[in-house]
Amino acid sequence: MPTFAADPYPWPYNGDWRPDNTAIIVIDMQTDFCGKGGYVHAMGYDLSLTRAPIEPIRALLEAARAKAPDLDWVQGDLTDPELDFGRAFDVVVMAGNVLIFVPTGSEARVLADAARWLAPTGRLVAGYSLRPGGFGPDEHDDLAARCGLVLEDRWSTWDRRPFGPGDNYAVSVHRRDG
């Protein structure tokens, strides 16, 4: 099985990375930066500036599809309950603050969808910054439990430093209960 050298540990998380069990999801067009009601909009800035990359990214996606037609390339919205990949994955990774940048109130939907995409022994790995009064580990664990997931591990960084009170970042690994 292929692994990739990385610091501080090899990737993938469970050492088993195959095209039939792995998805790479890049989500960066966040409501906070590009959407009405997000942070940039609330500050009164012109959204056209932060939305400018959207069309080039669409063109990049089309170019990727043309270059690697044997791979599945999906453009979707994690808050859409109809988003379906047609298969389950051993690991679903939400890096880059996904859970704090989806529209407020949609976190449960996003976690439910992610749980639906997991294989029976799969893991959901999510990392995000902790902000006072914002989405955090307690809410995350509660919403995950509603989806049949239990906390397996939590760190304060992607390099697995122990999580503790006062940390400003959390990386959580949830798995199916049972």
Domain 76-178 class? Answer: alpha beta
Under 8 Å CB-to-CB from 55, ≥6 apart: which residues?
Answer: none
Domain coordinates in residue numbering, the chain: 24-75, 76-178
How long a stretch of residues is the chain?
178
Q: Which of 11, 26, 22, 21 is nearest to 159 (CA)?
A: 11
Could you read off the pLDDT of 59-114 as tens digits, one per residue?
877 887 887 777 777 777 888 889 888 888 888 988 878 888 888 888 999 999 99
Could you read off the pLDDT of 138-150 as tens digits, one per residue?
999 999 999 999 9
With cut-offs at 50, 70 and 90, classify the pLDDT of residue 36: confident
